[in-house]
Structure 1
Amino acid sequence: MLRKRSFRLASKNSKLRKLILFTVLFGAMSLVGAVSYTGASEANQKYIEAENNKLRILEEQFNIAKNLEETEKIEDIKAKEAAERAVEQARIAKENAIKEAAAKEAAATAIAKAEKNILATTKAKVPTKSPISTPTKTITTTTNTPPAPKNPEPSNMKYLGALSSTAYTHTGNNMANGEKPYEGAVASNLVPLGTKIYIEGYGYFVVKDRIGHGSQLDIFMDTYEEAIQYGRRTIKVYIVN
């Protein structure tokens, strides 16, 4: 009986020891698993952080590339707009230059026309019965014909002919020989410049200028009124040798 109890007690103790051992082993395994899980979690965390860093870097590079592309597009647009503005400014400058040239040409034409009108008015042929002044003397006439002829000395004069004559005054231009107009000078295309002539009833003159059209001899007079009074006349002209 005592042996049976001892055996039973020993059996119970053996089971108890096994239970304790199992508990200890289970605890140890749990501890090892916990430690292993903790180590694995830290490694995973570092891996995740590294991947996140890579993603952040890639995202930053993507944003930089995107911003750079947008900047290049903006620069292209600005360059295109600048080129268009330059073309437009060149077009406007060309149009302004053409307008300015046209305005200058119109002004020059208007000035030339005004000068021509003034010259035409200056040389207007109006008959008169008032006294006139010539480079040598003042005479009074009632017709457009010269006074009674005074025969020159045939020894030193050559008869040029009965010429149609007019009168002109200052125009602001020099005569054909380069001198400024003065009383005693006449314009004619019939004889060389510098030729001395004698006009019956008026005296001696020197051909210093050329005439355009309208008469054969144009006598310079100092005032516009004198030129108008002279009008158009037929005169006898001699060349002085």
Structure 2
Amino acid sequence: MFERPVFAFGSADDPLFDALKDPKCVGPEHMSPKEWMPGAKTVIVMFFPMSDKVRESNASGDFPSREWACARREGQAFIAKAAAGLVSDIKKAGYSAMSPEQDPRFRWTAPTVSNWSLRHCAYICGLGTFGMSKNLITEAGCAGRLCSVLTDAEIPPTPRRYSGLYDWCIKCGACARACPVSAIDPKAPMGKNKNDAVCSARLKEAQIACGSPSEVGCGKCQTGVPCSRGRPRR
């Protein structure tokens, strides 16, 4: 279902976390690491890349493949357990730890916005940058799932090998061509390419088409594209 996860670390005091509260970024309801966990020193973000089998199965067709739907649904439960396992291991080592997205305070403030944005936190921690489709592009690609853990253990931050939000996107437009509902406009300014309302409506259609009681995603913009399984090179 997933390949070996990629880890990145950030300082809980990084000023970029407070910058996420800007209404032009995530929004004022986004919580900082220390609002989630007073005394937090390190933010750990993990990216679980989809396996080749899952990615390849979803590269064709208008709706998610069975493998993709399973990885999105059952896979998310696995990732939650992985985060809980890391929290447990850190506590056994004598430190405090918690996972914001597993905390009762975590909530969605809009259909595509939460009070703890894993993609933005991953960017701050040096894991990767955003693409035209708003996916996070990592060294292991964009097709995958994220989770995070906060701890008072002090771990050196991962260097950010970029300076801009979209540095690792080659702007090829492949994700726009792959979208079955044309929710991505390759000619729009970066950051404004994706129509979230159209995308959200498609996610509901995909859930119905798959006969699933919970979200199965779509993933067409993450498969069959240059950034699917690795960072694309210009």
Task: Please indicate the TM-score interval, normalised by the length of the shorter structure.
Answer: under 0.3
TM-score, length basis structure 1? 0.19
Higher helix share: 1
Q: Which one has the largest radius of gyration?
A: 1
TM-score, length basis structure 2? 0.19
